[in-house]
Amino acid sequence: METPYKFFENTFWLRGMYEKAQEKKVGVLLNGQRGNWTISWGPVLDFYADLLKKFRLINLYQELNQYSRNIGVQRSKIMVAARKKAFPALNKLINPTESFQFPMIINPKFAKDTNVFSKLKEHGIDVTLSESPSAYEVRDRQFRQLYYWSLTGTYGAKLSLRYSVWERDPTNDLNVIKFCLSVPEEQFVRNGLDRALVRRSTKDLLPDKVRMNMKSRGVQGADGVYRMSSYWDTFIEELETMSEDPISEYYLNQSVLKRAIVKIKHEPSPEYAFDFDFRILMRSLIFYRYLKKIS
């Protein structure tokens, strides 16, 4: 990447897909990365939160009933989740202990010297995550901020060149994006279905057990720690070196790193794949390797 990156959970699979495509002499590799924001759009809880805020209670009641049956979850639980999204400030008053703040990886002194948090705030970035943006706000940002394309374009170009495979994403086509942005939100969440547009569009094209599935889901990067288990001691050794290196000390919060190392160092538990401390260490290590490379 030539720059630090955060999406380490997917890198093994991204590279693996290109490797397999090259082995099978595939010339064009199609993916649907932008589909979550275009043809597969349909954030059900955010849509229900919007109905609640607009007091469209009859529509909300009907949707909750259908969605509850589709996923096998009590309607009251779905309503609570929608209420939290609709009125986050109220939820903080009711449940003040529920809020979570991701540990600060950056060295506090470095942050103060560079005034980085103020600069981020000027660009509308809430580093405390005290006010999580809605899915609609995130989607809007996806199509207004070019850095999203910079990231996917960079690794797509590099992997394409490395494995002689041409990557194309039909869900990122400008005409597809314009069409999906023109479609009313009621078409994306409908009759208790999330991603309703693509589910209806693929009728008779996909088996119903795939097209209408709302209960079984895979998890990206779940095997990350398992794949690292035979290299765990080497991994921990590099982390400990990083936590003592003046190069990283200037930029990174050493107390957070050391506390995280103590937590995970003894054994490569598969559950660490979703642990915040493990993520902190992986992101910090990627940044540390980048620092050494440019030093």
Q: What is the pLDDT of residue 269?
A: 93
Who has greater pLDDT, 180 or 97?
180
pLDDT at 120 (0 to 100): 85
3-class DSSP state of 244: helix
Mean pLDDT value across residues 279-293: 95
Q: What is the pTM of this model?
A: 0.84
Q: Residue 140, Cα to own-chain centre: how many angstroms? A: 16
Spatial neighbors of 47 by CB under 8 A, at least 6 apart, are 63, 185, 188, 189
Q: What is the pLDDT of residue 198?
A: 97
How many angstroms separate the CA atoms of 58 and 81, rounded? 18
Poorest-pLDDT segment among 124-128, 190-194, 270-274: 124-128
Q: With b meaning 16 or more CB within 10 Å and e meaning fewer, what string describes 68-97? A: bebeeeeeeebbeebbbbbeeeebeeeeee
Is residue 38 scored above 70 in pLDDT? yes
Task: Using the predicted structure, report yes or no on whether residue 12 has a pLDDT greater than 80.
Answer: yes
Q: pLDDT band at 152, cuts 50/70/90? A: confident
